[in-house]
Amino acid sequence: MIGSLKIEVLVEDTENPEKPMLWTEHGLSILVTAEIDGGEVRILFDTGASGRPLLHNASLMEVDLRRVDLIVLSHGHYDHTGGLVEALKEIKPRTPIPIILHPDALGRKFALKPRLRYTGIPCSEREVEDLGGRFLASRKPVKLADGITASGEIERVTGFEKTPEDYVILRNGELVRDIMLDDQALVIESHKGLIIVTGCAHAGIINTVKYAQKIVKEEKVYALIGGFHLISASDERLAKTIEKLREINPAIIAPCHCTGEKAVSRLRTNFKDEFKEVHVGSTLRM
């Protein structure tokens, strides 16, 4: 169980009207700082798309990336992993720093629309290792610290949360549909309930919550923060998601990145008290 928690959004798609000097890009990077047993653990959750906004924003936000203890990659898309090399150059780990991800995140990923394009991790494992990073690839949950878990592969149990069909991955010399089994979340156990941080929630935000509850054996959910990937969701899926979120009843719903303007608007309307705006530079304390 953690004590205090600070969540800082270092990279995100939308401008912060209160911090116009920060740079935006299509991507996500969140620094989680948790107080545990009188000390602090700092987890960099994703690294954005390019690294430049990450370093620029961290500097202006007075975030010292050299103090990062662990890196977690939510999945293997470039907009969450593209800043990894620059992050490692800044961190300058004295001992190898674990980078937790699903094995499929290391695969060769492509999108089919509007044309075939590479969407996977843009750097090699050799580059990462030369800079002091060590990939820890696991399908299973990985305990990062007391009360903090990387979920690993998320079970798909809802019938309405489907992954898009225009993503593919190279397997055995053949491009096959990528249902993004590498998607994972950060699950934090607090005295107020679970705090779940998502990159894109390609597995579905409801699937993500249900799996988080299962792996740490805790039903109460306090906060959901991150990308919900509802940007192209149908009205039916949005309605079902809102219905299930009402049942889950989190105190904080803080969507960003790939959630999409339409979905964010619907969530803002339906969860007036719980909804929190998230932009680059946003900080949430719990």
Digit-by-digit pLDDT tens for the chain (286 residues) are: 788 999 999 999 999 999 999 999 999 999 999 999 889 999 999 999 999 999 999 999 999 999 999 999 999 999 999 999 999 999 999 999 999 999 999 999 999 999 999 999 999 999 999 999 999 999 999 999 999 999 999 999 999 999 989 999 999 999 999 999 999 999 999 999 999 999 999 999 999 999 999 999 999 999 999 999 999 999 999 999 999 999 999 999 999 999 999 999 999 999 999 999 999 999 999 9
The distance of Cα 58 from the centroid of its chain, to the nearest Å, equals 17
| The pLDDT of residue 251 | 99
Q: Which two tokens stand for residue 20?
A: 């116009």
β partners of residue 101: 137
> In this predicted structure, what is the pLDDT of residue 166?
93
Domain CATH for 123:
3.60.15.10
Instruction: Give the pairing of strands 29-36 and 221-227.
Output: unpaired
Number of folded domains that form the chain: 1
Whether pTM > 0.85 for this model: the answer is yes
Structure tokens at 257: 């990145």
Q: Which two tokens stand for residue 218?
A: 């805790």
Return the pLDDT at 3. Answer: 87
What are the φ/ψ torsions at residue 86 (nearest 5 degrees)?
A: -65, -35
Give the integer Cα–Cα distance in Å for 53 and 9: 11
CA distance linking residue 178 with residue 149, whole number of Å: 25
Cis peptide before 17, with omega less than 30 degrees from 0? no
Q: Which domain holds residue 78?
A: 5-283
Question: Residue 120's pLDDT is what?
Answer: 99
* C-alpha pair distances (Å), 263 with each of 24, 35, 141, 188, 276: 20, 33, 29, 25, 14
Alpha carbon separation from 1 to 6, 17, 36, 68, 106 (Å, rounded): 15, 34, 8, 20, 31
